[in-house]
């Protein structure tokens, strides 16, 4: 009986302590979970490219090293051009040099330079910043290509993170004369919202991301700079499924770009899936685009 007759103040204090304890425990769990999640995302798994398919197709290439202006060494392959044009090939997050794109371009006489982004494949670097610092990787590739004998023009193809990074770099470097962006995202904020749908956790992820990388998430916004590429041509490709719909990726990028620009979107095609969905059309469209950019009077 004495237990139930305690003063209201006691119960009020107990309730306050309970609420505070639950709040602090929840805060700790949110901080811990988002810390681990962010750390994992910033450190992609590494897969070394082999080049076996290029050897099998008798595509000549040599292994080269690129050095970024912040001192990282990137592993790359290079095939000289037959007609003065090199295409930079930039892979996506958690991937490495795409041999299928490399082979496609080389078989049509284009020079090709493909590399592993920092923190990917065989390249140096510990943290991926999803395009912000990776711009320096593109610049290193561009400078290498321009320094090679017989190179007169440079274009670029990028997939996913590679596409976003190519947009960011081309907005600053006019030497990239034509851009193909396949499944690029409009902004890193969109990627965060897509992959961390728990809105309560998003500020924590932004905090940890900035803490570990030194980069603010709102600094990676291809949609804000794609218009600066004009009057150089841009070709935007995406499959209209999943993340592309959620972020309205291709249409936002296309609307923000200035002429000349092209858009190819297909219903029901997943992220970076257009090449697998329509390989012959993909090849024809890519080669026609670059041929028109570089060889049409």
State residue 5's pLDDT score.
54
Please tell me the distance from the alpha carbon of residue 259 to that of residue 269, in angstroms, as a whole number. 26
Tell me the DSSP string of 59-76. ---EEEEEE-TTS-EEEE
- What are the structural domains, with CATH classification, of the chain? 39-295 (3.40.50.1820)
State residue 190's pLDDT score.
94
Tell me the DSSP string of 194-245. HH---GGGHHHHHHHHHHHHS--GGG--HHHHGGGGTTS-EEEEEEESTHHH
3-state DSSP percent of the chain in helix, strand and coil, to 5: 50, 20, 35
State residue 10's pLDDT score.
67
| Cα four-point dihedral sign 62, 68, 73, 74 | negative
State residue 265's pLDDT score.
98
For the segment 122-167, what is each residue's pLDDT rounded down to a tens digit?
999 999 999 999 999 999 999 999 999 999 999 999 999 999 999 9
State residue 11's pLDDT score.
62
3-state SS assignment for residue 87: strand
Count other Cβ atoms within 10 Å, centred on residue 282: 19
Q: Give the residue ranges of DSSP H helices in 125-201.
A: 134-146, 161-172, 188-195
For the segment 230-269, what is each residue's pLDDT rounded down to a tens digit?
999 999 999 999 999 999 999 999 999 999 999 999 999 9
Please say if the pLDDT value at position 276 is more than 50: yes
For the segment 283-295, what is each residue's pLDDT rounded down to a tens digit?
999 999 999 999 9
State residue 284's pLDDT score.
98
State residue 1's pLDDT score.
45
Can you tell me the mean pLDDT for 3-30? Answer: 69
Main-chain dihedrals φ then ψ at residue 144, nearest 5 degrees? -65, -50
- Residue owning tokens 């890519």: 286
Q: Report the percent of the chain where pLDDT is more than 90.
A: 80
Per-residue buried b or exposed e for 87-109, using 16+ beta carbons within 10 Å of the residue's own CB: bbbbbbbebbbbbebbbbbbebe
């Amino acid at each position: 009986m004495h237990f139930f007759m305690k003063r209201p103040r006691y119960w009020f204090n107990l309730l306050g302590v309970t609420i505070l304890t639950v709040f602090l425990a929840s805060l700790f769990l949110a901080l811990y979970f988002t810390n681990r999640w962010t750390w994992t995302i910033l450190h992609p798994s590494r897969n070394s490219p082999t080049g076996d398919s290029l050897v099998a197709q008798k595509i000549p290439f040599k292994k080269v090293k690129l050095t970024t202006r912040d001192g990282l060494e990137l592993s790359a392959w290079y095939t000289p051009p037959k007609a003065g044009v090199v295409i930079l090939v930039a892979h996506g997050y958690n991937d490495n040099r795409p041999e299928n794109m490399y082979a496609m371009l080389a078989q049509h006489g284009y020079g090709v330079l493909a590399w592993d982004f920092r923190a990917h494949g065989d390249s140096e670097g510990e943290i991926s910043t999803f395009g912000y610092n990776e711009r320096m990787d593109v610049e290193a590739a561009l400078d290498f290509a321009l320094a090679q004998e017989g190179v007169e023009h440079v274009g670029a193809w990028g997939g996913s993170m590679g596409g976003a990074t190519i947009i960011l770099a081309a907005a600053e470097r006019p030497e990239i004369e034509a851009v193909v962006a396949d499944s690029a995202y409009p902004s890193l904020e969109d990627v965060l919202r897509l992959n961390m749908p728990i809105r309560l956790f998003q500020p924590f992820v932004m905090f940890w991301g900035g803490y570990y990388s030194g980069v603010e998430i709102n600094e990676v916004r291809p949609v804000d700079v794609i218009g600066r590429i004009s009057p150089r041509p841009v070709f935007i490709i995406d499959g209209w499924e999943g993340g592309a719909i959620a972020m309205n990726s291709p249409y936002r990028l296309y609307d923000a770009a200035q002429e000349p620009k092209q858009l190819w979107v297909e219903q029901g095609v997943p992220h970076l899936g257009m090449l697998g969905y329509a390989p012959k059309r993909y090849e024809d469209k890519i080669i026609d685009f670059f041929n028109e950019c570089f060889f049409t009077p």
